[in-house]
């Protein structure tokens, strides 16, 4: 058929019956068209009128509201939590990169050096070296709050790797549209993101602490009297691990919520933790004043943990000031996080 015959062929007639589609009937438009979209501002079913530009078919597109059964709220929250946490162990969830997985694995192994040393010297019966590595008040404090290497190499870097793109990438790539186009409110979104990072830190810090404590009981054959004497110290140290995980997560996610990339939140968290401590240490060395340590998240938590565990204090100012500092730091971080999440758009920013 020539081009002239094609041009003279009449268009397909418009059906008398108004056609609608969505989940019911397919679209029957078949040529090039220009669409003019309009929708009312009420709660009525939205519709779009599609008009031709000289050729084609006219039809009406009707959007049907979802009338199915939604999953309960806890299941939607569990889906977010599982998406982030299980991504470290298996595919099909958040695609954590290989360096992050390898570093977390390294930190878990390195955090159990106390376990290995206590196990070694307990088995060979060297009481002198076992006293250095075995469970006691100072060692349990050092296992969680030891500045080197744990809180200068291990935990801050793990937290930085985790929070780097947790919220900032949702801002940059518009992933928030996927969350908020479903029945997920912003509180659930922020709390599940927070819980995902805090749980991973919790398993690394308090998980290795529990292994350290219970391996010592099994290897050395400790009796009930020893357990009753040391278990309160273990609980206090366990609480310190929770405080540390919560504080690092709050600061990291607050930084991630104000950024659109992975680099700034990660570097910012390490800079805050290490920078404030270095500044306070310099002032303490020059003027013999430890009060500036209250601006350091690490030192504020360390001072509170020294009071909780009952180990020797390394700060001159009252530990209650550090407790107030921990509350204020976490409060400001959570306020910033909540404020930024409340401003997340449903489209790419």
3-state secondary structure 174-201: CCHHHHHCCCCCHHHHHHHHHHHHHHHH
Q: Assess if residue 48 is contained within a domain.
A: yes
Question: The pTM is what?
Answer: 0.79
Q: Assess if residue 100 is contained within a domain.
A: yes
3-state secondary structure of 164: coil
Give 253: exposed, middle or buried? Use CB within 10 Å, 0-12, 13-18, 19+.
buried
Q: CB–CB of 125/222 below 8 Å?
A: no
Q: Assess if residue 257 is contained within a domain.
A: yes
Query: Residue 34: which H helix or E strand, with range?
Result: strand 34-35
Same domain for 213 and 137: yes
Q: Assess if residue 224 is contained within a domain.
A: yes
Percent of residues in the chain assigned helix, strand, coil, to nearest 5? 65, 5, 35
Question: Domain end: 35, 53, 68, which one?
Answer: 68
In Å, how far from its chain's centre is CA 150? 20
How far apart are alpha carbons 143 and 302 in whole angstroms? Answer: 12
Q: Assess if residue 149 is contained within a domain.
A: yes
Distances, alpha carbon 275 to alpha carbons 295, 299, 346, in Å: 10, 12, 36
Same domain for 312 and 163: yes
Give 59's strand partners: 50
Question: Domain end: 30, 46, 68, which one?
Answer: 68
Per-residue pLDDT of the chain (349 residues; tens, 9 = 90+): 555 554 445 545 545 544 444 444 454 444 444 444 444 444 455 555 555 555 666 667 776 776 778 889 999 999 999 999 999 988 878 889 999 999 999 999 999 999 999 888 888 888 888 888 999 999 999 999 999 889 988 999 999 999 988 998 888 887 887 888 778 889 999 999 999 999 999 999 999 999 999 999 988 888 999 999 999 999 999 999 999 999 999 999 999 999 888 899 999 999 999 999 999 999 999 998 899 999 999 999 999 999 999 999 999 999 999 999 999 999 999 999 999 998 886 654 4
Closest CA to 61 of 34, 33, 26: 26
How far apart are alpha carbons 115 and 130 in whole angstroms? Answer: 11
Q: CB–CB of 290/315 below 8 Å?
A: yes
Same domain for 122 and 30: no
Q: Assess if residue 271 is contained within a domain.
A: yes
pLDDT of amino acid 57 = 65
Instruction: Provide the total of helices (H) and of strands (E) in the chain, helices listed first.
Output: 14, 3
Q: CB–CB of 262/164 below 8 Å?
A: yes
Count of residues making up the chain = 349
Residues sharing a CB contact under 8 Å with residue 164, sequence separation 6 or more, in sequence order: 256, 262, 263, 265, 266
| Number of domain units in the chain | 2
How far apart are alpha carbons 333 and 196 in whole angstroms? Answer: 17
Give 101: exposed, middle or buried? Use CB within 10 Å, 0-12, 13-18, 19+.
middle
pLDDT of amino acid 41 = 47
Q: Are β-strands 59-62 and 34-35 bridged in parallel, bridged antiparallel, or unpaired?
A: unpaired
Judge if the upstream peptide bond of residue 149 is cis by omega within 30 degrees of 0.
yes
Q: Supply the range of the domain harboring residue 57.
A: 1-68
HSE on the CB side for 210, CA within 13 Å? Answer: 10
- Pull the structure tokens for residue 275: 């920078």
Q: Assess if residue 99 is contained within a domain.
A: yes
DSSP 54-80: SSS--EEEEPPPP-SPPPPHHHHHHHH
pLDDT of amino acid 94 = 86
Own/partner pairs, 92-97, CB within 8 angstroms, 24+ separation: none
Q: Assess if residue 240 is contained within a domain.
A: yes
DSSP 8-state assignment for residue 317? S
How far apart are alpha carbons 281 and 303 in whole angstroms? Answer: 14
Same domain for 48 and 107: no
């Amino acid at each position: 058929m020539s081009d002239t015959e094609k041009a003279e062929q009449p268009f397909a007639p418009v059906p008398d019956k108004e056609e609608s589609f969505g989940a019911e009937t397919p679209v029957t438009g078949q040529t090039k068209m220009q669409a003019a979209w309009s929708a009312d501002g009420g709660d009525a079913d939205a519709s779009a009128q599609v008009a031709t530009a000289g050729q084609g078919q006219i039809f009406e597109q009707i959007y049907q509201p979802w009338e199915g059964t939604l999953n309960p709220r806890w299941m939607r929250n569990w889906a977010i939590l599982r998406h982030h946490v299980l991504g470290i162990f298996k595919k099909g969830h958040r695609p954590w990169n290989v360096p992050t997985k390898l570093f977390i694995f390294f930190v878990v192994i390195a955090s159990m050096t106390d376990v290995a040393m206590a196990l070694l010297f307990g088995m060979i019966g060297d009481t002198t070296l076992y006293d250095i590595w075995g469970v006691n008040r100072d060692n349990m404090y050092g296992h969680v709050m030891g500045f080197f290497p744990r809180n200068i190499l291990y935990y801050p870097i793990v937290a930085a790797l985790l929070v780097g793109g947790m919220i900032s990438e949702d801002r940059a790539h518009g992933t928030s549209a996927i969350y908020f186009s479903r029945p997920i409110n912003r509180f659930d979104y922020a709390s599940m993101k927070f819980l995902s990072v805090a749980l991973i830190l919790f398993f690394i810090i308090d998980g290795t602490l529990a292994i350290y404590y219970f391996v010592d009981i099994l290897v050395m054959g400790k009796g009930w009297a020893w357990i009753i004497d040391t278990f309160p110290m273990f609980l206090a140290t366990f609480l310190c691990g929770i405080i540390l995980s919560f504080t690092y997560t709050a600061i990291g996610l607050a930084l991630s919520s104000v950024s659109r990339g992975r680099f700034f939140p990660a570097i910012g968290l390490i800079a805050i933790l290490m920078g404030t401590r270095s500044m306070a240490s310099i002032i303490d060395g020059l003027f013999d004043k430890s009060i500036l340590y209250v601006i350091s998240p690490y030192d504020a938590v360390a001072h509170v943990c020294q009071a909780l565990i009952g180990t020797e204090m390394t700060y001159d100012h009252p530990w209650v000031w550090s407790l107030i500092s921990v509350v204020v730091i976490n409060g400001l971080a959570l306020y910033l996080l909540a404020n930024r999440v409340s401003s997340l758009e449903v489209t790419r920013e």
